[in-house]
Amino acid sequence: PVENISKLLIVRPDAIGDMILTLPAIKAIKEALPNISITVLASPINSQLIEHLPYIDDVIIDKKVTSLFGFFRYVKWIKSFGFDCAVHYYSESKTCWGAYFAGIKYNLGDKAKLGLWPVLRKYGLFYRSFDQPKHVVHYNFMLAESLGIRFKDDVSLTIPVPKEGKEKAEKLLQKLGRKTIRPIVGIHLGVGGGNRPLTPEKYAYYINELSKELDCDIVITGHTEKEKEYRTVIKRLVKRSLLDCVGKTDLK
């Protein structure tokens, strides 16, 4: 019953990409239910991605729990906000059971995980059991169907960059020799995470091939020490100058 909900919690304290793929559903919830206050439980890094968005009323940073006593404090903290409903886009024991013991009445999420069944059994669904070819954005809409939200084919996926982020990026690129008359291609030297990374030699090969096909500026970005090592190898193998932003940018 949507009329019983005034404060909604969106649980998404994981990766940046996962947050981006959830934003269309959050926006649709706000547009359909403008009187409901939407709070997002986020990680410190992906909170920077959403704190300026007009369809999100508040952002809270998830807390680490390392003991049973810490879990009780976590529950007390969640309870203090007075949420009526939680949409669990990140279905893990700490957040799901934390919401349950905090007294959140309506918990929507993927109830495929046996250990979360008692929390999600009433309002959750098996939302990836069938029709696997759907886009992740579509799956995220399915979790909000109990709120009357339906996926539409014209849903767009965007990465919202605040004005100050764009201005700082433009100044940095100009300082590095950006030629605004040419298109620009950004290549992030992603090394971390659970996937097996590309080797620096493959990045260099791609850049060299791209340069044959397109007259453009190429900017490389990265943050970790490993990505800085990649940068050194790539610049040695690439036959053109690069706009080197490795270690010079934040998320925005």
Closest CA to 140 of 85, 91, 81, 193: 91
pLDDT value, residue 36: 97
Q: What is the pLDDT of residues 56-83, one digit of tens each?
A: 999 999 999 999 999 999 999 999 999 9
Cut 0.75: pTM above it: yes
pLDDT value at 129 more than 60: no
Q: What amino acid occupies position 107?
A: N
Q: How far is CA 159 from CA 18, 19, 48, 49, 170, in A?
A: 12, 10, 12, 8, 17
More confident residue, 195 or 97: 97
Alpha helices by DSSP H, listed for the chain, are 16-32, 44-50, 68-79, 93-101, 117-120, 136-143, 163-175, 200-213, 225-237
How many CB atoms are closer than 10 A to CB 86? 29
Q: Residue 35's pLDDT band (boundaries 50, 70, 90)?
A: very high
pLDDT value, residue 113: 83
H or E element at residue 243 = strand 243-244
pLDDT value, residue 64: 94
* Rounded Cα distance, 232 and 24, in Å: 38
